[in-house]
Amino acid sequence: MGFSDHFLNDYGILQTLNRLTKPVDSSYADRIWRDALAAIRPRLDAHTYEMWVRPIQCVGLDDERCLQLRAPNRFLKEWFETHYLGLVLEQIETDTGVAHRADVAVDERPPPPVEPSSPAASPAETLDPPKTTATPDPAPRPAPPASTPAPSPRPRPPIPTKPQGLSPRYHFDSFIRGASNELAASAALAVADHPGQRFNPLFLYGGVGLGKTHLLHAVGHALHEQQPDLRIVYLSAERFMNEFVSAVRHNQFDEFRAKYREQADCLLIDDIQFIAGRDRTMDEFFHVFNALYEAGKQIMVTADRVPASMQGMEERLTSRLNWGLVADIKPPDLETRIAILRQRAERDQIDIPNDVTFRLAERVQTNVRELEGALLRLATFASLRNVPITPAFLDEVLQHAAPPQRAAMTVESVQKAVANHFAVRIADLKGQRRHRGISRPRMIAMYLSRELTGASFPEIGLRFGGKDHSTVINACRRVQSLQADDPELRTAIVQLRDQLVGAHAMQ
């Protein structure tokens, strides 16, 4: 931005010029826009910039100092307006000395046609309605429809009828039932026998390694065996989010919508807690849920906790997840653990005497994944050393490998370590001060909390003095990108991580 532009601006000449050259002055607008982007670009991580800022175009400026911006679709427009427009306008004000406004329009031109014959709607029309705040949905639960409506007439790439992503190991036959998982396993079987009719949605929850994913895949396999034409979609909630974001980014929302809302006959989603606090994805999942549910399609979801305990999850979504059956899986009791070990030993041809099986089942009580891991370690060491598996051998192998269960690392312990490291007060980490000496440690503490404690973004925000989850997301992204060029920051993080993990292991 050169002197002459300031001059023109200050004396209102530019406005006159703008009026004369109506509708817009694109060259000046283009310049201030590009200058501003060049200035804010280093402040965002590359991915964020590419994803949310770069696709926005500036096409001119009207005589009210209002920049005319164009976004390729409504989703991007809203995201940009909420998260980055302020930053850009601030920068423009700094550069030009004058406050500007902006009007972001959705570029109505349709994307290059993928299927010229299909009457595709414009990207703007295919995107979600503007996001409203998470308000409880007062709509009463609709009665499940008696029959499935006709599928969409749009020609779309079909979902392969062989479900994708299911592990061949996770069948009902290989799932050992016991008191701890009885309800979940019975409900899963009922869903496989009567999709969309008995328990819809089926919501399974429980701690890690207890068999939720196993049952979800088992339903997928069983349904496919019984009804090979059924279009079964299985994926993790994380993948759902990534596909959604990518569809929006590449103007392929039509395909996304068709796949999830129209074509799927059964949707199996793993670890739904992942989308808590991710507003857009929750919103999209909400629409997918409604579309499938209303069409009588089966939905099955797993999570690590009950719907109501997922912080950051919209209430209208948690209420829907409660509509069907909510079943828990608990850590298996001793008999179930023994049965699981026997089955695995038999399948993997591990020669393990009964007394060792019993001892192992007694030792590892946390979850099935650890139990299986311990058995495999035992078998591997025994075959490497070429010795039989005996109780003494078990004790020797598990001595180091199976530390007693520890409490999870907490956000508070991370805050304490970071505060000590940087000699700041914990209250400052939780406070609002933006001084670099405090904002840096705060960002790092948020980043490490996310990495080490497994707490969600909203939960971390809450523990940092009630900050918004987007603040935490931004802090994490920023630390991520700063690490590349800032050895000091990298070292601090490595030291803190070692210290925290080390101290935790000593407990």
> Could you please report the per-residue DSSP string of 91-144?
HHHHHHSS--EEEEEE--SPPPPSSTTS-PPPHHHHSPPPPPP-----PPPPPP
| CA neighbours closer than 13 Å in the CB half-sphere of residue 396 | 12
SS3 329: strand
Q: Identify the bridge partners of residue 384 per DSSP, sorted by sequence position.
A: none
In the complex with ligand ADP, the residue whose CB is nearer, 108 or 335, is 335
Binding partner at 209 among Mg ion, ligand ADP, none, C-beta below 5 to 8 Å by kind: ligand ADP
Residue from 77, 214, 221, 442 binding ligand ADP (CB under 6 A): 214
- Segment near Mg ion (CB under 5 A); pick from 6-14, 207-215, 334-342, 493-501: 207-215
- The nearest distance, CB 81 to ligand ADP, in angstroms, is 38
Residue from 106, 360, 368, 379 binding ligand ADP (CB under 6 A): 368
**CB-nearest residue to ligand ADP:** 211
- The nearest distance, CB 269 to Mg ion, in angstroms, is 11
Residue from 9, 73, 126, 213 binding Mg ion (CB under 5 A): 213
- The nearest distance, CB 387 to ligand ADP, in angstroms, is 26
In the complex with ligand ADP, the residue whose CB is nearer, 106 or 185, is 185
- The nearest distance, CB 300 to Mg ion, in angstroms, is 13
Which amino acid, 64? E
Residue from 210, 233, 268, 446 binding ligand ADP (CB under 6 A): 210
Task: Show the binding pattern over residues 101-130: x = contacts Mg ion (CB under 5 A), - = does not.
Answer: ------------------------------
Binding partner at 175 among ligand ADP, Mg ion, none, C-beta below 5 to 8 Å by kind: ligand ADP
In the complex with ligand ADP, the residue whose CB is nearer, 234 or 464, is 234
- Segment near ligand ADP (CB under 6 A); pick from 212-220, 223-231, 241-249, 480-488: 212-220
In the complex with ligand ADP, the residue whose CB is nearer, 273 or 311, is 273
Binding partner at 214 among Mg ion, ligand ADP, none, C-beta below 5 to 8 Å by kind: ligand ADP
In whole angstroms, give the CA distance from residue 255 to residue 239: 16
In the complex with Mg ion, the residue whose CB is nearer, 212 or 224, is 212
Binding partner at 181 among ligand ADP, Mg ion, none, C-beta below 5 to 8 Å by kind: ligand ADP
SS3 367: coil
Binding partner at 372 among ligand ADP, Mg ion, none, C-beta below 5 to 8 Å by kind: ligand ADP
Question: Which CA distances in Å does 203 have to 54, 286, 304, 314?
Answer: 39, 15, 10, 16
Binding partner at 461 among ligand ADP, Mg ion, none, C-beta below 5 to 8 Å by kind: none
Minimal CA–CA distance to 231: which of 298, 175, 301, 170? 298
In whole angstroms, give the CA distance from residue 304 to residue 122: 38
Q: Does 372 bind ligand ADP (CB under 6 A)?
A: yes
In whole angstroms, what separates CA 299 from the centre of its chain? 18
Q: Identify the bridge partners of residue 325 per DSSP, sorted by sequence position.
A: 202
Scan residues 128-187 and list those touching ligand ADP (CB under 6 A): 170, 174-176, 181
Q: Does 120 bind ligand ADP (CB under 6 A)?
A: no
Instruction: Give burial (CB, 10 Å; 0-12/13-18/19+) of 57.
Output: middle
> Could you please report the per-residue DSSP string of 187-243?
HHHHHHHSTTTSSSSEEEEESTTSSHHHHHHHHHHHHHHH-TT--EEEEEHHHHHHH
SS3 299: strand
- Segment near ligand ADP (CB under 6 A); pick from 89-97, 242-250, 346-354, 368-376: 368-376
- The CA-CA-CA angle for residues 75, 78, 82, to 5°, reads 140
Residue 440 tokens, joined: 């840096």
- Asked if residue 356 lies in contact with residue 394, where contact means CB atoms within 8 angstroms, the answer is yes
Scan residues 294-353 and list those touching ligand ADP (CB under 6 A): 340
Residue from 209, 296, 331, 431 binding ligand ADP (CB under 6 A): 209
| β-strand pairing of 298-303 with 266-270 | parallel
- The nearest distance, CB 135 to ligand ADP, in angstroms, is 32
| CA neighbours closer than 13 Å in the CB half-sphere of residue 419 | 15
Sign of CA dihedral 374, 376, 379, 381: negative
Binding residues (CB under 6 A) for ligand ADP: these are 170, 174-176, 181, 206, 208-214, 340, 368-369, 372
Binding residues (CB under 5 A) for Mg ion: these are 212-213
